[in-house]
Structure 1
Amino acid sequence: MKKKSLIALSSLSLLVGSAFLALPASAALPTVVSGQAMPSLAPMLEKVSPGVVSIDVEGSHVSKQRLPEGFRFFFGPDFPSEQVQERPFRGLGSGVIIDAKKGYVITNHHVIDGAKKITVQLSDGRALNAELIGSDQYSDIALLKLEEAKDLTAVQVADSDDLRVGDFAIAIGNPFGLGQTVTSGIISALGRSNLNLENFENFIQTDAAINSGNSGGALVNLNGELIGINTAILGPNGGNIGIGFAIPANMAKNIVDQIIEYGQVRRGRLGVHGQELTSELAEDFGYETNHGAFVSKVDKDSAADKAGVEAGDIIVSVNGKKIRSFGELRAKIGSLGAGKRVELGLIRNGREKNVTAVLNDIGQTAKAETLHEGLQGAALENYNAEGQVGVLVADVTKGSLAAASGLKKGDVIIGVGRKTIRNLGDLRKQLDGKQGTLPLNILRGSYSMYLMIR
């Protein structure tokens, strides 16, 4: 079957080539008809395409398999209890340059997940090494930085909240590793969620063809502005059937801004529980349509509670922009940083009401034992005070491994070996996969010292 498909494709190419060879010069397609230029996306694409890149990753996936207890019985107690296998892989994806001066490239988390080496190929053929600045698996966004980047072209970011169903959309990426490819279509739907694709779902749906390898590429409008990051498709066997999904540009930008500032995502929390608004619920609570998020519960002392949100409210807008579902509300709030002020539009007892909430900071502290076994018992958080940055040891559990190594509450981790640590993102990167003795550069009061964490 594959052989027949390849033969048919080759024949088609040959026929097309023959047809063009047979055309006289006078038969070229016209560029002007009735005094008007023929419409074309080419001028816009000539400006935008250099800002879309191909990404080649190399890495390895580590899998662990627990061995039967009988192995330790025969080979002794020192025999490992699990078998660790490391399988190398290579992958292809796409990315978008969003800052030409700093060399920032945005892509999907799943494109670079597990990568040890990331190579970015520009549209002019240059291949550059890329450093992973940070990523967020829950929104599927990652930020790369090109090394020794010069003469780059960035894609301008549009306000994706202004999108409408029916707007034209153009997808640019690297499907199947073919190289830069452009497809066009329209916005088919907005605010898609509950697709079981990502943790925070607020997808733009488009019928512009998106295929494997397009992940992380650009979805742009007719002005050549970035409106979304192509992420997933719905189709049999991974093939395109005209249902593709992209992460809205605003959501991606919020995540990237946090990664740049903090080295990680400091996700905000509103503190509401609820469900999608049905027509029955809308009628019961005095609302005429079923667009919005129904609030069934408000957590005590949460941002929503302090703002005056109540159970039974219907949240219909965030910062003046309408929302369509509870999933969209969750995604919008989840992509905003902790401490952000958000204006919520509510329907209560059939009447409109606006309240302002300041999002709580969740995930600010890290479970240190997930970074290194020897840090078990330490609570870590980002530190930035009096010109000093690093990772603050917010607490140390008495009798823990961290305490046994001499780590104390109030210490600031400023380095691992000779590598400088600015935040939790840097610390995670330096400790990734490391075992055994760990030399931490600690700032304790005004003194700098090294602690050996085991």
Structure 2
Amino acid sequence: MRKKNLFVISALALTVSSFMLPITANAALPITVNNQSIPSLAPMLEQVTPAVVSIAVEGKQISKQQLPEAYRFFFGPDFPTEQIQERPFQGLGSGVIIDADKGYIVTNQHVINNADKIMVQLSNGHEVTAKLIGSDKSSDIALLQIKTPQRLTAIKLANSDKLRVGDFAVAIGNPFGLGQTVTSGIISALGRSGLNLENIENFIQTDAAINSGNSGGALINLNGELIGINTAILAPDRGNVGIGFAIPSNMVNNLTAQIIKTGHVQRGTLGVQGRELTAELAKTFGYDTNQGAFVNQVMPDSAAQKAGLKAGDIITTVNGEPIRSFSELRAKVATLGAGKTLTIQAMRNGKLQQFAATLGASVDSIVNADDLHSSLTGAQLTNATLDGKAHGVEVTQLTKDSLAARYGLLKGDVIIGLNRTVIKNLGQLRKALDHPPKVIALEIQRGNNVLYIIVR
């Protein structure tokens, strides 16, 4: 018997060459057929489906090709052995309107990644160009905005912390570019992680059929409320077997609120290192269940230390909601945002204790520049300081013959401005490049000199 391989597919986007309606209908609401009342999802779906849109993107995909070193023998030592190629691409996905008045649409980051043009098609067939407000690669969330005279319908967000395994769920999206499609199932599991899809994982698992093109679509409850954004499937030979994953609505709400406010996500950090709690470990520390997050280490001067947490604590709840694993704790903390104060309950020496912690800001010390803009491929960036103050973004590493190098960047350059806007840190540079102009003028400090480098 041939052994089938299982694939976790995060890029469910299908690649190819002002007005809020109240949603109160319940799926159990009967409809009459042949003078008989039968249960149906139709009344609820008639109100919800206009809030789910189809997304079509166009852009350029940059790929690297490594040529043999022998080429240098024929063409000289300066011949570049790494070739950068740009290839146009098109893709399809889904999105969900979360604010009808402002035209905000949430989708997956991988749906719009590297897109130069984003088109949104409403359920009535009307098409409009969307603007990218901001995105977060680590959690695979992106926020778009459209402006249209069309009346929009938005979905109300549910409290995903209240979900239970066995709750009914309905998925709505645009699989395989067929058009809006509805499938149903149940919540199969909560707090799924370790799938290596994104850096922050706390997925809802469902058996509602999800396929390529469903990315960014809605997972809703029977009240027509959003409980998650569909993002991935576990599949043999890339087919659906009833194991799909969605980003919980509470994570979506926290992340989009930060993007709306600042244009990017400012992660919160508690300052603990830990591991998943096993039954044996729980018993050793006087705890009678394996639900919780075990703390291995508390970092000096962190929010956790200031709150009084210690190594050996088992965190059981955050803001009154149960914590099932360390991965779930990490995801909740990272998406809540810096400056938020949490009420944490932890087991210590067999007794429950309560702590209040104000989250610090997580700083991405080094980022790959192509995460910010494709024209900067080959450079690594970090925050630069001068006399203890933010001074721009430094190029710490640069790949020879890369696109960034060809535009003229050098290792040690400090980006201090972009199109006459002062840039003091990575956050400001990221925000400026979330919706970049066609021509980008980088103001560079190189030693004691200041110059401009133009990239497209």
TM-score bracket relative to the smaller structure: 0.7 to 0.9
Q: Which amino acid aligns with 1:424?
A: L
1:80: which partner in 2? 80
1:205: which partner in 2? 205
Displacement after TM superposition at 1:78 (Å): 4.7
1:92: which partner in 2? 92
2:383: which partner in 1? 379
Displacement after TM superposition at 1:253 (Å): 1.3
Q: Which amino acid aligns with 2:419?
A: V
1 or 2 for the larger relative contact order (CA 8 Å, sep ≥6)? 2
Kindly provide the CA deviation profile for residues 62-91 of structure 1, in whole angstroms up to 9, marking residues without a partner as x: 111233343234323553342111222221
- In 1, the alpha carbon distance for the partners of 2:225 and 2:79 equals 58
**What SS is found at the alignment partner of 1:259?**
helix
Map 1:294-443 → 2, pairs under 5 A: 294-363=294-363, 379=383, 393=391, 413=417, 416=419, 423-429=428-434, 438=441, 440=443
Q: TM-score, normalised by structure 2?
A: 0.79
Change (3 A) 1:79 1:256: same
- In 2, the alpha carbon distance for the partners of 1:311 and 1:167 equals 36
Displacement after TM superposition at 1:429 (Å): 3.5
- In 1, the alpha carbon distance for the partners of 2:272 and 2:263 equals 27
Displacement after TM superposition at 1:378 (Å): 7.4
325-334 or 420-429, which deviates more: 420-429
- In 1, the alpha carbon distance for the partners of 2:177 and 2:183 equals 15
Task: Assess if the C-alpha contact under 8 Å between 2:97 and 2:106 holds in 1.
Answer: yes
Change (3 A) 1:432 1:285: farther
- In 2, the alpha carbon distance for the partners of 1:173 and 1:109 equals 16
**What SS is found at the alignment partner of 2:70?**
helix
Q: TM-score, normalised by structure 1?
A: 0.79
Displacement after TM superposition at 1:98 (Å): 0.6
Change (3 A) 1:192 1:418: closer
Q: Which amino acid aligns with 1:114?
A: N
**What SS is found at the alignment partner of 1:63?**
strand
Structure with more helix by fraction:
1
**What SS is found at the alignment partner of 1:60?**
strand
Q: Which amino acid aligns with 1:103?
A: G
- In 2, the alpha carbon distance for the partners of 1:240 and 1:373 equals 35
Kindly provide the CA deviation profile for residues 99-148 of structure 1, in whole angstroms up to 9, marking residues without a partner as x: 11211110111111122211111100011111211111111111111144
Task: Assess if the C-alpha contact under 8 Å between 1:367 and 1:380 holds in 2.
Answer: no
1:388: which partner in 2? none
Change (3 A) 1:151 1:369: closer
Task: Assess if the C-alpha contact under 8 Å between 2:94 and 2:214 holds in 1.
Answer: yes
Any gaps of 5 or more consecutive residues in structure 1?
A: 1-29, 382-390, 443-449
1:7: which partner in 2? none
Task: Assess if the C-alpha contact under 8 Å between 2:201 and 2:328 holds in 1.
Answer: yes
Task: Assess if the C-alpha contact under 8 Å between 1:131 and 1:147 holds in 2.
Answer: no
Change (3 A) 1:254 1:319: same
Identity across aligned pairs (percent)?
59
Q: Which amino acid aligns with 2:80?
A: P
1:27: which partner in 2? none
**What SS is found at the alignment partner of 2:39?**
coil
Q: Which amino acid aligns with 1:296?
A: N
Task: Assess if the C-alpha contact under 8 Å between 1:131 and 1:144 holds in 2.
Answer: yes
- In 2, the alpha carbon distance for the partners of 1:159 and 1:176 equals 30
Task: Assess if the C-alpha contact under 8 Å between 1:374 and 1:453 holds in 2.
Answer: no
2:184: which partner in 1? 184
Displacement after TM superposition at 1:451 (Å): 5.8
- In 1, the alpha carbon distance for the partners of 2:333 and 2:414 equals 39
> What is the aligned-residue RMSD (CA, Å)?
3.5
**What SS is found at the alignment partner of 2:102?**
coil
Task: Assess if the C-alpha contact under 8 Å between 1:207 and 1:242 holds in 2.
Answer: yes
- In 1, the alpha carbon distance for the partners of 2:160 and 2:88 equals 37
Change (3 A) 1:431 1:379: farther
Change (3 A) 1:314 1:393: same
Any gaps of 5 or more consecutive residues in structure 2?
A: 1-29, 396-408
Task: Assess if the C-alpha contact under 8 Å between 1:173 and 1:215 holds in 2.
Answer: yes
Change (3 A) 1:72 1:191: same
Kindly provide the CA deviation profile for residues 209-232 of structure 1, in whole angstroms up to 9, marking residues without a partner as x: 111111110001111110000111
1:252: which partner in 2? 252
Larger radius of gyration: 1
Task: Assess if the C-alpha contact under 8 Å between 2:369 and 2:377 holds in 1.
Answer: yes
Displacement after TM superposition at 1:44 (Å): 0.8
2:7: which partner in 1? none
**What SS is found at the alignment partner of 2:237?**
helix
**What SS is found at the alignment partner of 1:331?**
helix
Q: Which amino acid aligns with 2:431?
A: D
Change (3 A) 1:148 1:327: same
Task: Assess if the C-alpha contact under 8 Å between 1:51 and 1:97 holds in 2.
Answer: yes
Task: Assess if the C-alpha contact under 8 Å between 2:111 and 2:215 holds in 1.
Answer: yes
Displacement after TM superposition at 1:309 (Å): 0.8
Change (3 A) 1:349 1:204: same
2:66: which partner in 1? 66
Task: Assess if the C-alpha contact under 8 Å between 1:266 and 1:361 holds in 2.
Answer: yes
Task: Assess if the C-alpha contact under 8 Å between 1:192 and 1:203 holds in 2.
Answer: yes
Task: Assess if the C-alpha contact under 8 Å between 2:133 and 2:434 holds in 1.
Answer: no
Structure 1 stretches of at least 4 aligned residues deviating more than 4 Å after TM superposition: 33-36, 364-378, 394-397, 401-407, 417-422, 430-435, 439-442
Map 1:190-269 → 2, pairs under 5 A: 190-269=190-269
Displacement after TM superposition at 1:60 (Å): 2.2
Q: Which amino acid aligns with 1:127?
A: E
2:49: which partner in 1? 49
Displacement after TM superposition at 1:282 (Å): 1.0
